[in-house]
Structure 1
Amino acid sequence: MDNVIFAYWSTQTVGTGFQVIFNQSGYIFLVAQNGSFLNYVASNAASSSQFYQRAILEYDGVLRHYVYPKSANSAGGRARAWSIMDFIPSNICLSVGGSTGANACGFNSFCYLGTDQMTMCDCPTGYSIIDPNDRMSGCKPNFAAQNCDKEAHETDHFTFNDMLNTDWPLSDYAYFHSVTEDWCRQVCLNDCFCAVAIYRNGNCWKKRYPLSNGRVNDNIGGKALIKIRNTNVTANSSVSKKSNRSTLIIIGSVLLGSSTFLNLLLLSSLLVYAFYFNRLKSNRLQPNQVLPGLNVRRFSFKELQGATNGFNEELGRGACSTVYKGILKNDNIENAVAVKKLHKIATEGEQEFKAEVCSISKD
């Protein structure tokens, strides 16, 4: 690395160290530029005549000193295999404590020592590893984050998973003292930014994403309250609430729109019906083009008005009609006619008129 952010382990010889030496006796130590001894890095000596030795700065950042017996006698009755003599630092999970970075195990995960002091990385309940091929890639939550909308605060959708002797130092953004554990839980539950609360000896720390430097160790004490979504609540419950509200709004809009459409359709139907009724009425007021069963000529009102000289000479009067004298010209021959003018049009009067015409035409 070109830029050193922080040291997770140091010999405390800044400015004076010159070289790390791994000698034949199995000692690893630091010397100054003039060759003088400064500090031991690893002091568990193993004779090079009895053991093969190697020192590796491994993937997790730990410098480990391994030995392998050259013979069964040097193994002291143990199986001939590589074993660890020393490792620097002794617990990298507790040693990493920088204000930036994710420590040995990645963000949102926690670190602990396994068999042979090997660094182990794991995810809290409700979280899963980001890259299954890289155990130090960090963890991601398997649930939707808490909604910060006051209308859907979702406090009833979350609960806590307790982890003893667990902490994520330097991820806190709020601190409270002299409080109870229940109070600490509630203050985290009410805060949509709070991912984890640490409660220890009456003190409460609220942590937010991304969680860094996670570690589990018996010396930490207290407990971590990890906020996760209830398993019986869907991850998109808050979205569903909003979606339901949106659906109701859409349905209401559709119904309102449908109502408007139905009103327009009804109005259009009324207009069509009124037009048809007026036309039907008009047709009823007009004489038929051809009277069924009759072979008579049809005269217009204007012709009859001219023939009667404006209905001038009255010949007789009935209940619903008046008869006038008229003259019709046909090929310069004048024919005297009687023109019956109805005062009102009614079904009975019209039928009576048709009957009269039919009777006259048969005579």
Structure 2
Amino acid sequence: MENLSSMAVFPCFLILCALIVASAQQQRYSNISLGSSLTPSTNSSWLSPSGLYAFGFYQLTNGYAVGIFIAGIPEKTVVWTANRDDPVFSSNAILLLTDDGRLILQQEDRDDVNIVNPAQSVASASMLDNGNFVLYDSSGRIRWQSFDHPTDTLLPGQCLPAGEDLVSSASKTNPARGIFRLAMQTDGNLVQYPVEMDGPNYAYYSSGTYGRVDNVSLILDNDGHLYLFNGSTIVSNITTGRYRARTIYLMRIDVDGILRLYYRRWILKETGLKNGHPRKIDVPLWMDTVAECECLPGFDHVNPGNWTSGCERNFAMEACKASNPNINYEIRSLDNTVWEDANYAVLEGLTKEDCGKACLEDCNCDAALLKDRSCRKQRLPLRYGRRFQNSSDVALIKVSTTSKKGVLGDPGQEIKKEIRLDILIISISLVALSALILLITGIYVHRNRASNK
């Protein structure tokens, strides 16, 4: 029965995608013929007919990438990047639609890089006004389009089909794959996970549409309406949407893992694209509008400028002292906090104090999770930490009593150390100055005596 149900829905899904493709073909486009090329410094992009979107080079901090971006506005808003996990190219690169129908990037002393991989050779290309970059064969049929290969962004008219996902970028300046993903699952559920993880234990958002229907897609309309669609009916509305004339919409899973819907008003004039200020709507897949990521007590960010790089201990673990194992350590607790439960020992029926003591006295224990009087001892690394409102989970972290440098440490200790250091420096300076004065005085007295003789 499940297979029959799937077969009944699947044709509708194919019709939906066919309609989207047909819409893409009806968009105005400028023909890009075989032999056409781009370079980062001159003729760097191919524009859509209105100049709204562009395909070509855009600058990174350490080179250039190839992608699709909204053109004609002060800041380039990138919506798609080629060769995402290795996106950086040099300033002498050449993007070429070859005479034999391949889209490649050439660099000195390096092999050619395929920017896209169509199943067959192509005869022309187009940058459409809806943000879709398309490759055609000699009969005008689409052989490849960027709408079928989204990175972290959906544009109006673009769908995320069942079994596909969006992955956040590594940072605002690095388009490589980051640490969060949005998965349109084959069971009809839209779910957000850390990358490379799956299953309900790791999800931090779910649409709750599991098992209703098969072959559900995530769709973004031209009016900003974001919804789940199975080819015949709307399964669930993510946003209601509201039509605004001359408005650009896009949906992105951002670096911080939050799914957001952005819009920007624009007016196309003969002089070019006139734009207003960008706005964003937080899609209700998260309780907060800004993700706040902190390290656990006793830990600091590996890279202070990029919290996605993770955390590391800010103190060195000394060898375990069997006679007095807790001499240099204490337990710090965080309420409503959990992470991946990779425990090596479970102790039942313990209070928070008992669980903390058990971890403190165990040389192998770096932290413990306590839930419903179940104490679960953990070793590093601790992964996928989360906080939940009104949760009974308590995290117990072993930290050094001699280091208060952590994110949740005691700033007063640092201030006292700085004051003591300043006093020491001043004292040494005064002693040195006094010695210098005595030396100068001695020399002066000695010369006076010598001259009087």
TM-score range, shorter chain: 0.3 to 0.5
- Provide the TM-score with structure 2 as the length reference: 0.38
Normalized per residue, which structure has more strand? Answer: 2
Please identify which structure carries the higher helix content. 1
Q: Specify the structure having the higher radius of gyration (Cα).
A: 1
